[in-house]
Structure 1
Amino acid sequence: MNFLDLDDVHTGFIAANRSRVLAAGVDPYAYDRVIDGIGHIREWPGAFIAAAEARVALARDGSAATRAEADRAAALLFHFATVLPDTDEERRTRAATAAAEAMTRALPSAVPVVDEHPAEGFHGFLHFPNDSVHERNHSTTTVILVPGMNSSAVEFTGVAEVLVRRGLAVLAIDGPGQGACPGRWQPKFERVVGRAIDALPDVATVGVWAMSMGGWLGARAAAYEPRVRALVAVSGPGELRWPELVPYVSDTFRRRTGGEAAARAFAANVDGNGLAPKLTVPTLVVEGGKDEIPGVGNLAELAGAAKQGELMLIPEGGHLVEEQRHEWLPKAADWLATRLG
């Protein structure tokens, strides 16, 4: 049975995603208003889309600053409409595209960067640490930010801004099948990161910051793309045991890879222990001590086995350690800035 056909899961899903939504920057009262009318999980996408559209309409006649604030809020609401394994792919695509467009309007200093390659392309935003770096011939240290299973560049705009404040440029991307980028997930994600590096201005040094399933994708990129100099992986999987995965995860895999066989093959390819010997760059793995997802093994062992691996464990943290960001995000950003410096 599809996850969206299950009864009585919406209450747990709403509670489980609260910290994620708030960490991304959604106002808690706005979240409460959206979820208040949801009586079944199938109502989630429509509720978030309606809230996003209302947020934009409310600020239509406001100042430029008011419109930008509304667009940023709407971008996040549009994005969170897409986090289910929605059988209505057209609706999901519209919402993901609307999220990217709204964030582009909200952040006029961020430069859209797009590669339309059908299997290895990406859609992204290039954030600069200051206005002087807009010169195309200016070389700067850049971090490629990789999202996860159902996240996107829009969701982690706040993380990008933390890195920018440390003098790093950030190219936040959606790879194939992520966010607004069409296609199916690319298991050899180093190819996507390689093309992202090719699309940058003259870059002196490149690092990767990767979230959730992106932690695995980013680890592959750091192992196989020689231009990547350091990696931060947050709550990434080191193993996926297909029979144990919950329907929310397995349904998302099927939809984003193209079917059962492709989903199982993608999951079987996730092997942190096998990747560790190939991962020689400085690597920081951030894990929550309470991050327990059925069928998912984390990257803690990779941190111990990789040549320059380190583990930052937050004992009370869950997946993506959202409720304890103050304990790890500034430290991890400092760590990466130092390694790339």
Structure 2
Amino acid sequence: MGDEFAVSDEFFDGQTLRAASAALFGGADIGECIAIARRVRNGDLDSWHTEWFAAAEKAFALGEEAEAAGQGETARLAFLRACTYFRTAGIVYLAQPVDPRLPESLARQRDAFRRAIPHQSAVIVPVEIPFDGIMLPGYHYRVADDGRQRPTVILVDGYDGTVEELYFGNAQAALDRGYDVLAFDGPGQGSVLIEQGVHLRPDWENVLPSVVDWVVAQPTTDPERIAVIGWSLGGFLAPRGASGERRLAACIADANLYDMFDIAVSRMPAAVRGEIPDGNRVAIATVQTMLDTTMRRPTEGWSFRRGLYVHGVETGIDYIRDMRGYTLNGFAEQIACPTLICRGESDDVSETASLTFDALTCPKEFIEFRDADGAGGHCEMGARQLYLARAYGWLDAILQPERAVA
């Protein structure tokens, strides 16, 4: 064993750590996650699904038994574990054509999470937000059913997350600190992608205002204290959204990136970088062949297969072409609210976060989480408590949630 968390396969190991990080709020057992991952055959996506799905069903059955026996807390935690494990089981099939096990895992994840809701102390209500002819599903979390206005955080997910996973990433942490929460799946995310067939779009300056409209319309929202928090790719989407929304009091970008296209090109062989995406045909064909070869590899090619599906394109070159719209160049300068930019020291996704920070003209802060603290990976998955302490410490100083709960 080297630096890996549980297994030697980099993709499987990262997803195991991601699942285990949900233990912080009852969504996993760390040892259980490691044991599940180590039963998976090396590089075998079907084996991964089989082991995690079986663990999810086992946890779900425990939840049903506990619920029937009137053991609410045991049921809550079992259903939350099942939620995480169902999501983890299906993530390997995030690609086109859609394997039926992907929508099944999504539906089972949602069912498990909603079975936990009656046993939660917070008020949690499934909602739908109208946007551009579709509905964005989400959850409205309230600290208490007392009718009081509180500050609200809007949670934006990433490339391959779901609205249910946002509970473990930020929602419960926000509730514990006195914030109400609105979490949602946007275009290209979760059920909006898998069940509605709507792909990702870069212009979240046109997406986020509809969500803020919904939040402001809630009688328990303090309209002067609304923040947006982006997680993973949401660390790009949230500030892009904030560039077109003046009602926000704060923005947090966790795992921020500045320009997706530039990052992709920088990882290509130096000899062809200048030809991407519309240059010499021979160079483009060479890159396409390279991408095709990578995509055929079960775990190494997962991120590219996911990208084609999420963006709704057919080829690797088309995927790179589509990335040109995913930039904060010219948008970061338009953000008016105080903004916190976060990155992990060893996270190559957020390696350009400092460019965003430099472009900001609003009040701003930059935090780099360190490997020495176990927090240097993508979205600080190995040390979320440290991230939550720093990020919400910054946000508390701006929104002062104690005014609503004192």
Q: Which range, TM-score by smaller chain? A: 0.7 to 0.9
| 1:119-268 equivalence runs, <5 A | 121-132=135-146, 135=147, 138-158=148-168, 159-181=170-192, 182=196, 183-200=198-215, 201-202=218-219, 203=221, 204=223, 205-240=225-260, 241-243=263-265, 244=267, 247-260=301-314, 263-268=319-324
Q: What is the number of residues matched between the two proteins?
A: 327
Distance in 1 separating the partners of 2:306 and 2:90: 11
Q: Any runs of at least 4 consecutive aligned residues in structure 1 with deviations exceeding 6 A, and if so which? A: none
Whether the aligned pair in 2 keeps the contact of 1:68 and 1:106 (CA below 8 Å) is yes
Query: One-letter code of the match for 2:365?
Result: E
Alignment pair present for 1:49 and 2:53 = yes
Letter in 1 for 2:12: I
- SS, match of residue 177 in structure 1: coil
Q: Counterparts of 1:45 and 1:120 in 2: how far apart (Å)?
A: 30
Alignment root-mean-square deviation, CA:
2.4
Give 1:36-75 correspondences, 5 Å limit. Answer: 36-39=38-41, 40-43=43-46, 44-62=48-66, 63-75=71-83
Q: Secondary structure at the match of 1:79?
A: helix
Q: In the TM superposition, what is the alpha-carbon distance from 1:234 to its structure 2 partner?
A: 0.6
- After TM superposition, the score normalised by the length of structure 2 is 0.74
What is the match of residue 9 of structure 2?
11
Letter in 1 for 2:319: A
Q: Which structure 2 residue ranges, 5 or more long, are not aligned? A: 1-6, 269-299, 401-406
Of 218-227 and 244-253, the range deviating more from structure 2: 244-253
Q: Against the structure 1 CA distance between its residues 116 and 339, is the aligned structure 2 distance closer, same or farther, given a 3 Å change threshold?
A: same
Contact 2:20 2:30 in 1 (8 A): yes
For 1:215 and 1:100, how far apart are their aligned partners in 2? 24
Counterpart code for 1:21: A
**Alpha carbons of 1:18 and 1:118: their partners in 2 closer, same or farther (altered >3 Å)?**
same
CA distance in 2, matches of 1:315, 1:266: 32
Q: Is the 8 A contact 1:229 1:281 kept in 2?
A: yes
Gaps of 5+ in 1: 1-8
Are residues 186 and 139 of structure 1, via their aligned partners in 2, closer, same or farther at CA, if it must alter by over 3 Å? farther
Larger radius of gyration: 2
- SS, match of residue 191 in structure 2: coil
Residues 277-325 of structure 1 show CA distances to partners (whole Å, capped at 9, x for unaligned) of 11221000111111125xx643222113202221011131111112233
The answer as to 2:132 corresponding to 1:112 is no
Deviations 1:248-289, CA, capped at 9 Å, x for gaps? 332211111211476334421222343221122100011111
Aligned match of 1:81: 89
Do the aligned partners of 2:233 and 2:256 also contact (CA within 8 Å) in 1?
yes
Match of 2:369 among 311, 314, 329: 314
Deviation of the 1:74 alpha carbon: 0.5
Taking the aligned partners of 2:50 and 2:136, their CA distance within structure 1 comes to: 26
Cα distance in 1, alignment partners of residues 333 and 59 from structure 2:
49
